[in-house]
Amino acid sequence: MDDPARTPFDNDLPVRVGPEELVDDRYLLDAFLENTLDHVYFKDHESRFIRISQALAVWLGLEDAAEAIGRSDFDFFGAKHARKAFADEQHLMQTGEPMVGIEECETWEDGRETWVSTTKVPLRDRRGRVVGVFGLSRDITEKKLNEQRIAAQAEQLAKQARALEELALVDDLTQLHNRRAFASLGEEALYRARHEGAPLALVFLDIDGFKQINDTFGHSAGDEALQAVARAIRQATRESDIAARVGGDEFCVLLTGKDATAVEPLRSGSRHRSAQLTMRACSRSTSRSAWAPSTSIPAPRARSKRCSPKPTSRCTTRNSAMPTSTAAWKDARPHHCPRDVCARARHRREAGPRPSRTAPKSAEE
């Protein structure tokens, strides 16, 4: 009669063994190497293959895994990868330290590149001596290609973001900083100056008679004048200074560093240089216009409030080079009136309205 206290897990029960081939270590190893999808290999102390898996044989272009026995990485891969793998394996056998989960770039003789995630450990004999290397690699080429594509896209997006940021902070016409960039960079410079106790200098510049340049020579000449002033400012400032166009014809320069108080060289240099470039721009614009006075064009100056540049029926000019008809005036550039004509017009305004030439009707009529 069976003892109810006994269980199937008692130590004195006989062990049930299966088929003989299931307990054969060699059979188990053969089955593993034949069916695994990973690249499994054993190497001797000179990094020559002792045995490899069928998946690795296909990876190396071999029909039978036995063809790899006695060969090394130098027989399959390019010299760059073969030398690195050999050096890593020799170091591993000397130190006994395993290499776990390293990513290797395999270069082939035909120029191809593949990536594998590799784990290598020392191969020891029954006495514990290191006699070779046991390794397992897994193909991660598709993963690395996706990472490279993502990295390239991220770099491209970063470049586009930087370009958009520059466009948002740069004035299109003068290529100087705009008002937004000047405010942001100025706050940073002011914070650093307060923290370091360094001096700062803020310079405001504008173009005298800029409206007259636009009215007399056209807006293209005004744009060239702004660009000329911007070039003059760049030539007179340093890389550490912050120059910006903050308005139509208004510029600001923030001088930083120990020489920040030296404002006079910037003021005089930019003023002289910009005046030359502005006159040159106006001259080029005038030479391209449909009509220009026969005499030389004077330098731009502030317009007098009492002198209208556009002729009227009562205020005409005596300059023979000026157009006389109304149609010609529409095509011509505005021109200042002579002093004598303006004086007569002013005298008429001060005298008041002229009496009517029509006689008043009598009461009888």
- On whether the CB atoms of residues 191 and 275 are closer than 8 A, the answer is no
pLDDT in tens, 220-273: 888 888 988 888 888 888 888 889 998 888 898 888 876 666 666 666 655 655
Does the domain at 172-288 match CATH 3.30.70.270? Answer given as yes
Helix (H, G, I), strand (E, B) or coil at 29: helix
Q: Does residue 356 carry a pLDDT above 70?
A: no
Collapsing DSSP to helix, strand or coil, 77 comes out as strand
Q: Are 251 and 198 in contact (CB under 8 A)?
A: no
Q: Which numeric CATH code is attached to 30-144? A: 3.30.450.20
Instruction: pLDDT band for 143, please (50, 70, 90 cuts).
Output: very high
Residue 233: closest CA among 175, 167, 287: 175
* pLDDT > 50? residue 327: no
Q: What is the DSSP letter of 16?
A: P
Q: What is the pLDDT of residue 16?
A: 46
Q: pLDDT tens digit string along 195-227?
A: 888 888 888 888 888 888 888 888 888 888 898
DSSP 2: -
Which token pair is 328? Answer: 């010609």
For the chain, the structural domain boundaries read 30-144, 172-288
Q: Under a CB-based contact definition with an 8 Å cutoff, are residues 341 and 249 in contact?
A: no
Asked whether 335 and 293 are in contact (CB, 8 A), the reply is yes
In the chain, which ranges are E strands?
Answer: 39-44, 49-52, 99-107, 113-124, 130-139, 200-206, 242-245, 250-256
Question: Which pLDDT value is given to residue 103?
Answer: 93
Q: Which residues pair with 102 in a beta bridge?
A: 118
> For residue 181, what pLDDT band results from cuts at 50, 70 and 90?
confident
Q: Is the pLDDT of residue 282 over 60?
A: no
